[in-house]
Amino acid sequence: MTLDDKTVAALAEQLENAELNRAPITKITDAYPDLDWDDAYAIQDEIRRRKVAGGAQIAGLKAGLTSQAKMKQMNVSEPVFGFMCDYGACADGSEIEIDRFIAPRVEAEIAFVTNKEIAGPCHIGTVLQATDFVLPAVEILDSRYENFKFDLISVVADNTSAAAFVCGGNAKRVQDIDLRTVGIVLEKNGETVDLAAGAAVLGQPAESVVMLANMLARKDQVIPAGTFIMTGGVTAAVGVERGDHIAVRFQHLGSVSMRFV
């Protein structure tokens, strides 16, 4: 860790203001090139503390950069983790104001909801045994950095670009579905813009929850029972503009849709 508490607090405030005012900033590693992972997660934790102090509730946790394609693109070998706020929850089929965001992108995800605490170090068996159900979801990403100019440390500090999310379709017991072979089709304005199978996420989306639990264990934390977890983009993240209609069709799990207005 290279930063003192005062600088962590100042950077967290800058990033939260960028989100609230939709006014992007330059990536924080420009001013602090030596930032490490502990600094980045400390800034993210401070943003989370500010949100809760300001009355927001934490709606869930997220893993990002969990597909081989995205990891390769960003030249990383480990996923990143963040959190979702209650005010980011959007209803399936709803109209979403695009002015809430700076430059939104959408990606299809499989979400888990746990019914038991998961304490790392753990393995996929622990996660499947502690999962109540899985459901289809779409994450709306929005970087608070100008022109998508960021690096991984800056992204983690910026709560992994988390902005909003939509859940829909049919929830299923995890033992009733093979998440590796679930086919997913992402449509924008009626045209297929990407498709993938669940195995795109670390071979099996439950592995993302394993990595989250193991990362939290290093901070002496657990995934509590009843946690909603977005396991990371199965498809690419696709940019959206006012008027765009997004529909994601998940084999066996139904679909999730929204229009940006």
- Based on CB atoms, which residue is closest to ligand 0L1, 88 or 126? 88
Q: In sequence order, what are the residues at sequence separation of 6 or more whose Cβ sits closer than 8 angstroms to the Cβ of residue 204?
A: 124, 179, 180, 198
Kindly state whether residue 155 participates in binding ligand 0L1, applying the rule CB under 6 A: yes
d(CA 241, CA 243) in angstroms, rounded, equals 6
> Quick one: which segment of 22-30, 35-43, 136-144, 243-251 binds ligand 0L1 (CB under 6 A)?
136-144
Kindly state whether residue 208 participates in binding ligand 0L1, applying the rule CB under 6 A: no
Tokens standing for 91?
């209803």
Tokens standing for 157?
């500090």
Kindly state whether residue 194 participates in binding Mg ion, applying the rule CB under 5 A: no
Please report the DSSP string for 62-114 in residue order. EEES-BHHHHHHHT-SS-EEEEEEGGGEE-TTEEE-GGG-SS-EEEEEEEEEE
Are 213 and 118 in contact by the 8 Å Cβ rule? The answer is: yes
Tokens standing for 39?
């600094």
> Quick one: which segment of 92-100, 129-137, 179-187, 232-240 binds ligand 0L1 (CB under 6 A)?
232-240
**Among residues 12, 130, 223, 237, which is the contact residue for ligand 0L1, using CB under 6 A?**
237
Among Mg ion, ligand 0L1, none, the one that 235 touches (CB under a kind-dependent 5 to 8 A) is: none
Contacts 24+ apart (CB under 8 A), 73-80: 74/152, 76/152, 78/211, 79/202, 79/208, 79/211, 79/212, 79/232, 80/152, 80/155, 80/156, 80/160
- Interactions with Mg ion, residue window 69-108 (CB under 5 A): none
d(CA 25, CA 17) in angstroms, rounded, equals 10
Kindly state whether residue 210 participates in binding ligand 0L1, applying the rule CB under 6 A: no
- Interactions with Mg ion, residue window 5-64 (CB under 5 A): 64
- Based on CB atoms, which residue is closest to Mg ion, 3 or 142? 142
**Among residues 102, 232, 240, 260, which is the contact residue for ligand 0L1, using CB under 6 A?**
232
Kindly state whether residue 161 participates in binding ligand 0L1, applying the rule CB under 6 A: yes
Kindly state whether residue 233 participates in binding Mg ion, applying the rule CB under 5 A: yes
**Among residues 19, 39, 46, 139, which is the contact residue for Mg ion, using CB under 5 A?**
139
Q: How far is the CB of 4 from ligand 0L1 (least distance, A)?
A: 26
Kindly state whether residue 160 participates in binding ligand 0L1, applying the rule CB under 6 A: yes
d(CA 55, CA 33) in angstroms, rounded, equals 33
Are 134 and 112 in contact by the 8 Å Cβ rule? The answer is: yes
- Interactions with ligand 0L1, residue window 36-75 (CB under 6 A): 64-65
Kindly state whether residue 233 participates in binding ligand 0L1, applying the rule CB under 6 A: yes
Using CB under 6 A as the criterion, which residues of the chain lie in contact with ligand 0L1 when the complex forms?
Answer: 64-65, 139, 141, 143, 155, 160-161, 232-233, 237
Using CB under 5 A as the criterion, which residues of the chain lie in contact with Mg ion when the complex forms?
Answer: 64, 139, 233
